Amino acid sequence: MVKHLADVPSNIVTNEIDLTNQSPYRQNYHVESESGSLGDPNGFSYFNHQYHLFYQWSPLAFSKNPHYTQHGWKHLVSKNLIDWQDLGAGIESDTVLDKHGTYSGSALPVDNRLFLMYTGNTWTNTESEDDWHRVPYQVGAMMDKDNKVKKWMTPLLKGPLKGYTGHFRDPKIFKKNGIYYAVLGIQRENLTGAALLIKSSDLHKWSIVGEIKADHNNFGYMWECPDYYEINNHGILEFCPQGLETSNNKYRNIYQNGYLIGNHLNLENGQFDCGEFHELDKGFDFYAMQTMRDSKGRRLLIAWMGLPETKYPTEKFHYTGCMIFPRELQVKDGVIIQKPVKEIKDLYQEQFLIEGKTNKESIKLEAGKSNSRDIQLELDCTQAYDTILDLFANEDNTDHLRLIFNHKKQEFIVNRGHCGLPISEAYGAERSCHLDLNKKIKVRILQDVSSAEIFLNDGKDVFSMRVFTDNKNNHIFITSHCGEASYKAKINQLRYRK
Amino acid sequence: MVKHLADVPSNIVTNEIDLTNQSPYRQNYHVESESGSLGDPNGFSYFNHQYHLFYQWSPLAFSKNPHYTQHGWKHLVSKNLIDWQDLGAGIESDTVLDKHGTYSGSALPVDNRLFLMYTGNTWTNTESEDDWHRVPYQVGAMMDKDNKVKKWMTPLLKGPLKGYTGHFRDPKIFKKNGIYYAVLGIQRENLTGAALLIKSSDLHKWSIVGEIKADHNNFGYMWECPDYYEINNHGILEFCPQGLETSNNKYRNIYQNGYLIGNHLNLENGQFDCGEFHELDKGFDFYAMQTMRDSKGRRLLIAWMGLPETKYPTEKFHYTGCMIFPRELQVKDGVIIQKPVKEIKDLYQEQFLIEGKTNKESIKLEAGKSNSRDIQLELDCTQAYDTILDLFANEDNTDHLRLIFNHKKQEFIVNRGHCGLPISEAYGAERSCHLDLNKKIKVRILQDVSSAEIFLNDGKDVFSMRVFTDNKNNHIFITSHCGEASYKAKINQLRYRK
């Protein structure tokens, strides 16, 4: 592993980028890596009059002969959450505290600088050569307004902590009543996961408050990427539990991403009165979400539209992973609702307004040639047994991303099993949820070249997914069986981001 | 509607049969209709040294120009539950009590005759021509040893009963302590479903005991095809509730078929102490089950491997529907387990024994050219993330019925979305259940030309389904990802039934 990407012969780096650029699956307005792997978002924040987004970055992950590896945080900035400027390496693995990986973390503006807090991963062999242990360091760093990062060489905390294994990572920092806090993912010695709360008054000396104690938190062998924040009088603990067995139509992905919602967390003792665990996104590809509060007071969400340990067809082009389009979070009726940030309107180009009624034969909705669309639909499926919307469809509609609204079963199903290349088949080709189809519903879909984010009823249920299909498969069809459905569609073609 | 099939010009009947015989999807050893529609099994019984099976029968259901309809019970007999002799019409709709349909019912040997009990459907317009009401009659009939049926022209009961609608049908008769009882499906005036218990000492005069009162029976707008029986100290009430919303991976089909299990039903007052509702079969196509106790003391199950209001590709050949292969029911750990009756061994021809370990590339299991197989597998999936078994596969394994054993999620999924012609897509292409894959598992599959019945762990979970694929798609492939699975397969090719 090299310390800096700059140490790698430049033709090796550019070869990777050139190959990646040949991919037919490159996204239009979703952030993705210029080559190699993109993973967890990190340090999502607003500082110095712009949004900052870092991510887990390994640009040479798929390079070969000679193979170099480099790992760090990529750094991007944006004024509008759409057009992102690539600032290259944000943090790289170049010190004794992070020599085997600059793992995930977060950021918080402090005075005139941005404080970065992350996990430095190291391995050590204590006794014999084959007895390797993780030694995780929680590391602090300060970034100035010129985007220069200075790491603090005294770790904030060193793991493993007593009673826990070396799985201790992903600090998410927040400030309340003048005190700094962070939540981290940690694994107990009995191999169960938890979220640990720590605190500091000066960012340098951190003490352990203890585990977050919730009624419904006893599951999974590890929790990754926790996040705690408050919306009005609600406290929300988000995290990614690993090791949940599938239960009916829940927890179908390899790892989960969800939240507990309740009263404000007691920051003195970690007590958290909350309800049961909800999956944040019910789709196929969603992980490692991170939130921030922006200058407008919005709680914004970013996440990796991908999963760990999962192969994607883009690996052929030596890259993988993209971000979801940023969402604004609100709480309604005790659950989180998610909406694309309103800045998406800056991407709008041609608009198509279509109204009609379905019949047994599929109707093609004419909505431009590019799959990059913001689709807003009002559907009345109350009179049909089922209504089917196909996206990414080929001319004869044999290949498509299929959305099924089944009135009889009051269910929504999305099936990507007949949509271009197969992905992660062992985890099934369908995701579903209960949906009240006795009333009109709203469906919003952010489509890009190789992804769809589906928002039902103003973001009450959200399904995010990658699809890898031919660019000519750009049609939209709608049909229904045993009765008519009526639809009003407002479809905006979206411009390329800068 | 004609009273008797014999009234229809014979060329019309044979044209239908000829067209049906052209279907490439005709089953080998599963009972199906010679033309038209096959529906609910009826009158499943053992009498006069042979098994009797009737079914809802409409042989001209898809005939056209000129179109005749006829409706009744088809009658089949068998010595071994495999080779069935077709006796033609058992009951036809030829009286004032059943002029609009000979609906479902049951049979019980009484002295030297077989008592048949069914619902005669009639419609009447009481006030104006457009105000049609159902008037259901519960009808008795006696069949002698020459298979001659004599209907009783005094109905056993006439509906609607006070407090209930005209949906009142499907009597299932049983005898206990010298008294005859029957359970029937009924709809309350508030449009919810129930099972009604009635009794008689002489088969002629019936009195109403009342609704079966269970803790967990308050769902659905109608219950069809109830059945009550006892296995050891367990009482079991099976029925088909209609109108259940999908809940996670439960109740995904258009209508359900399942059971309550508890103590013996109190026959005095209908009180039934039982647990929650279980689906009997978790597959795509299963409905209207009926059981009988045979001369060997076995509790045998038959069911329609199909669903109401569902189109199947065989309609092109003017027929639809088949039966499951008969199963023996037992109770283990408080739930029903199901196994194909052991008579299946009479069908065994060539046997293939195959052992091996999977790897990343699919391995083809060589097991003869016909898809008619009894496949018995022992799988050790404990070391692989997932293990995938493909049946009905084409040469390059792009089209198949896919069985997924996902160790990480402890889940079994069957996907028929890439298996020949689409079926009932609005209800999804996957069915799934929790499965403990930390230990070895047993998988048994009865394959036929156009169906598969999958038995997990000796019949603890069962998935039945139709598939309509090219007969050349007769390959079996196995593979696993991220680790090896080992398999022992015993595969019997099955002969054609006589």
DSSP string computed for A259-314: EEEES---TTT-EE-B---EES--SSS-EEEEEEE-TTS-EEEEEESS-TT---GG
Q: What is the mean pLDDT of chain B?
A: 95
Residue A126 is predicted with a pLDDT of 64
Chain B residue whose CA is closest to A399: B418
Query: In what side-by-side order are the strands of the sheet with B36-47?
Result: B84-92, B72-78, B50-58, B36-47, B319-320
Set of chain A residues whose Cβ sits within 8 Å of the Cβ of B427: 406, 409
Percent of chain B with pLDDT over 90: 91
- Give me the CATH code for the A352-494 domain, please: 2.60.120.560
Q: Which residues of B are catalytic?
A: 40
Residue A130 is predicted with a pLDDT of 63
Chain A residue whose CA is closest to B405: A426
CA B91 and chain centroid, separation: 20
ipTM of predicted complex: 0.77
Q: Decide if pLDDT at B131 tops 90.
A: no
Residues B347, B349, B355, B357, CA torsion sign: negative
Instruction: Count CB-CB contacts under 10 A for residue A309.
Output: 11
Set of chain B residues whose Cβ sits within 8 Å of the Cβ of A388: 425-426
Cis peptide, bond prior to residue A136, ω within 30 of zero? no
Residue A128 is predicted with a pLDDT of 62
Looking at domain B348-494, which of 2.40.50.140, 2.60.120.560, 1.10.101.10, 3.40.50.2000 is its CATH number? 2.60.120.560
Rounded Cα distance between B3 and B388, Å, is 51
B307: left (phi over 0), alpha (psi -120 to 50) or beta: beta
Q: What is the pLDDT of residues A405-464, one digit of tens each?
A: 999 999 999 999 999 999 999 999 999 999 999 999 999 999 999 999 999 999 999 999
Q: What is the mean pLDDT of residues B124-135?
A: 75
- Confidence class for position A132, pLDDT limits 50, 70, 90: confident
Reduced to 3 states (helix: H, G, I; strand: E, B; else coil), residue B442 is strand
Partnered with residue A304 across adjacent β-strands are: A287, A323
Instruction: Give how far Cα A189 sits from Cα of A157, A160, A165, A196, A209, Å.
Output: 18, 10, 5, 14, 18
- Confidence class for position A228, pLDDT limits 50, 70, 90: very high
Quickly name the fold that domain B5-340 has: Tachylectin-2; Chain A (2.115.10)
Copy the structure tokens of residue B381.
């999936």
Q: What is the mean pLDDT of residues A384-404?
A: 96
Q: Decide if pLDDT at B339 tops 70.
A: yes
Q: Which residues of A are catalytic?
A: 40
φ, ψ dihedrals at B65, nearest 5° = 45, 80
Rounded Cα distance between A422 and A404, Å, is 20
Set of chain A residues whose Cβ sits within 8 Å of the Cβ of B386: 426-427
Domain locations in chain A as residue ranges: 5-340, 352-494
HSE at residue B406, side-chain half, CA atoms within 13 A, is: 27
Partnered with residue A265 across adjacent β-strands are: none
Copy the structure tokens of residue A394.
């080929």
Rounded Cα distance between B136 and B121, Å, is 5
Residue A63 is predicted with a pLDDT of 92
Q: Decide if pLDDT at A216 tops 80.
A: no
- Confidence class for position B120, pLDDT limits 50, 70, 90: very high
Give the A-side interface with B, CB within 8 Å.
Answer: 245-252, 254, 385-386, 388, 402, 404, 406, 408-411, 413, 415, 417-418, 425-430, 432, 434, 481
Q: Decide if pLDDT at B64 tops 90.
A: no
Same CATH fold, A352-494 and A5-340? Answer: no
Contact A355, A474 (CB under 8 A): no
Q: Decide if pLDDT at A353 tops 90.
A: yes
Residue B82 is predicted with a pLDDT of 95
Residue where the block lists tokens 């705690």: A228
Rounded Cα distance between A194 and A223, Å, is 6
Rounded Cα distance between B403 and B416, Å, is 9
Q: What is the mean pLDDT of residues A338-359?
A: 96
Q: What is the pLDDT of residues A268-325, one digit of tens each?
A: 999 999 999 999 999 999 999 999 999 999 999 999 999 999 999 999 999 999 999 9
Task: Name the minimum distance, in Å, from the CA of B480 to any CA of chain A.
Answer: 9
Q: Decide if pLDDT at A103 tops 80.
A: yes
- Confidence class for position B133, pLDDT limits 50, 70, 90: confident
Residue B127 is predicted with a pLDDT of 62
Q: What is the pLDDT of residues B300-331, one digit of tens each?
A: 999 999 999 999 999 999 999 999 999 999 99
Reduced to 3 states (helix: H, G, I; strand: E, B; else coil), residue A347 is helix
Q: Decide if pLDDT at B424 tops 80.
A: yes
Tell me whether residues B404 and A417 touch, CB distance under 8 A: no
Instruction: Report angle CA A223, A228, A234 to the nearest 5 degrees.
Output: 125
Tell me whether residues B429 and A434 touch, CB distance under 8 A: no
Tell me whether residues B428 and A428 touch, CB distance under 8 A: no
Contact A118, A107 (CB under 8 A): no
Residue A50 is predicted with a pLDDT of 98
Q: What is the CA radius of gyration of chain B?
A: 23
CA A174 and chain centroid, separation: 20
Reduced to 3 states (helix: H, G, I; strand: E, B; else coil), residue B345 is helix
